[in-house]
Amino acid sequence: MMEAGFLGVSASLTGRRWVGPGIEIERASEAMAQATALPRPLCQVLARRGVPPAEAMAFLTPKLADLLPDPRRLRDMEVAARRFLAAVKRRERIAVFADYDVDGGSSAALLLVWLRGMGLTATLYIPDRIDEGYGPNVEAMSMLAANHDLIVCVDCGTLSHEPIAAAKGADVIVLDHHLGGETLPPALAVVNPNRQDEEGDLGHLCAAGVVFLMLVEARRQLRVAGQPTGPDLMALLDLVALATVADVAPLIGVNRALVRQGLTVMARRERPGLVALADVSRMDTAPTPYHLGFLLGPRVNAGGRIGKADLGARLLATDSEAEAQGLAARLDQLNTERREIEEAVRLSALAQAEDRGLEAPLVWAAGEGWHPGVVGIVAARLKESANRPAVVIGVENGIGKGSGRSVAGVDLGAAIQRLAAEGLVLKGGGHRMAAGLTVAEDRIEAAMERLSELLARQGAGTGGAADLRIDGALMPGAATPELVAQVEQAGPYGAGASAPRFAFPELRVSFAKKVGEKHLKLVLHDGGGQKLDTIAFGAFDSDLGPRLLEHAGARFHVAGRLEINTWGGRSQVQLRLEDAAEA
């Protein structure tokens, strides 16, 4: 028998059990409310984030200057920055070799824009996902080395021993964040917080964060030498924020400050590429992590997934409005095509995964001809459906190329790297939340069985797929614009820092209208004169929409995230409803 959930909800209208804050969180939030006089709902959010009462006010107003680590804490950082500056001073030929995703494109753009500010034009090289695969390859590195003095590999390179050795005649710097192996490639410098000889306390940085720290160190070295310190680094934080959110890096520590400041920079609309991208995405409000992760990021990624690999990086780096508009339009078109391809693969993969069962430590699927550019997105969809790590593999000519996404607390990259060490996959690696692999078709079953074992040891599969986490209960009268603004101060929210979700008990429906094919607009009230405007996106994908629409006067517990809805010049609190249960 399933244990009773928060407000007694063990099986909601979407089949989920509601899980409220534990007794420790309740006690911590009560103590914080008494010590700080902050609203109790906000204290519940801060307590869940592990913020001590004495640090609450500082947490609500994070300053990058306070949180930015000394770049020299990372091994090889001083060497990398010194060689990079030497190339700038001597006007050497510099090539930037980047991964084809948002983090790689943003990392490349950071360097290209900074170098342009110093009067240098660097060569951009991004490998084709299908023809070349992930990371440096021997042919490309040999070619670049023949025509360049310095090659900077961003968001890749940590495991690329042979390709980096092939870069004869050029120095190679690696700025990466993917999990390192027991040995490092023969590069002049490998700056990576996830090297095995690093402490790992900066392991949550994405590659763009590492590149930004290298530019901070370069600025320090220039200042010490009494030279001009180069372009304004704070103006580059929009690129760092985009990469951090799109790469699903946890929004904790310095990442939180980087994204928060980066959103402020982005709102100024000074970077032609991001302005054009926001316009084709029909963004009409100030940017949020949602916009970065679900509107901008997928379009930047579309070039690397199904189009020309360097489109995204070129868009982010350009200073031409005309070029930016053309590139953004092309990426928007590619993103539409990507969605169509993705949906076909998603349906097939989901059916296959459901046949295997969604309760195992690993959810996976493999199919002939599945486009390698969408398997990562489909893996993310499976992960969301099952609350389990997921891997999706596309097979062609006897070789499977797959991508995986993980859940909190389960290190998928390390497990896949273990598979590679054991010889079950041809190659593989990544980081905690996302990883890739290449595997022979006849070894897929064995590799996935072993991966499931490794993930089970980390606790994968123990969490209920039907659990909905609730931060606390509110009444409609407490859902004020002031509270929403205060809760937003504890953000930004995203990976590793999920947005607060509140439950509202025993409300009745006073208005319900279907919007489009899947959505539902509601007005809920508590019987005491207080009402709550509500929107439920995708409500008709489950029993949620039909039951609330035909409510027959019933009372419901509802749960979701509070937001400010601006429409027609008016702003008011709205509940983005995710679930409901009959009271």
Residue pair 200/193 in contact (Cβ under 8 Å)? The answer is: yes
Question: How confident is the model at residue 465, as a pLDDT?
Answer: 53
pLDDT in tens, 156-186: 999 999 999 999 999 999 999 999 999 999 9
Q: Which CATH number fits domain 67-333: 3.90.1640.30, 3.40.395.10, 1.20.140.10, 3.10.330.10?
A: 3.90.1640.30
Question: How confident is the model at residue 204, as a pLDDT?
Answer: 95
68-99: string of b/e by CB count within 10 Å (b at 16+)?
eeebeebbbbbebbebbbebbeeebbbbbbbb
The CA-atom distances, in angstroms, between 412 and each of 63, 250, 326, 452 are: 32, 15, 37, 10
pLDDT in tens, 44-87: 999 999 999 999 999 999 899 999 999 999 999 999 999 999 99
Residues found in the chain: 583
* DSSP structural state of residue 295: I
Residue pair 468/20 in contact (Cβ under 8 Å)? The answer is: no
Question: How confident is the model at residue 1, as a pLDDT?
Answer: 42
DSSP string, 350-412: HHHHHHH-S-SS-EEEEEET--TTTHHHHHHHHHHHHTS-EEEEEEETTEEEEEEE--TT--H
* DSSP structural state of residue 424: S
Token pair in block for residue 266: 């982005």
Question: How confident is the model at residue 387, as a pLDDT?
Answer: 85
One fold for both 67-333 and 357-457? no
Question: How confident is the model at residue 278, as a pLDDT?
Answer: 97
Rounded to the nearest angstrom, the gap between the alpha carbon of residue 41 and the centroid of all alpha carbons in its chain is 26
Query: CATH second-level architecture of 357-457?
Result: Roll (3.10)
Write down the H helix ranges in 249-386.
Answer: 253-267, 272-280, 289-291, 297-306, 311-317, 321-356, 375-386
How far, in Å, CA of 82 to CA of 87, rounded? Answer: 9
Question: How confident is the model at residue 495, as a pLDDT?
Answer: 83
| Sole residue written with tokens 């497990």 | 415
Q: Which CATH number fits domain 470-582: 1.10.3720.10, 2.40.50.460, 1.10.1610.10, 3.30.230.70?
A: 2.40.50.460
Question: How confident is the model at residue 16, as a pLDDT?
Answer: 87
How far, in Å, CA of 102 to CA of 305, rounded? Answer: 11
Question: How confident is the model at residue 3, as a pLDDT?
Answer: 60
For the chain, give every domain's residue range. Answer: 67-333, 357-457, 470-582
How far, in Å, CA of 272 to CA of 409, rounded? Answer: 38
Write down the H helix ranges in 118-196.
Answer: 138-147, 161-165
The CA-atom distances, in angstroms, between 550 and each of 274, 516, 527, 542, 545 are: 43, 17, 19, 14, 9
Residues of the chain with pLDDT under 70: 1-3, 463-466
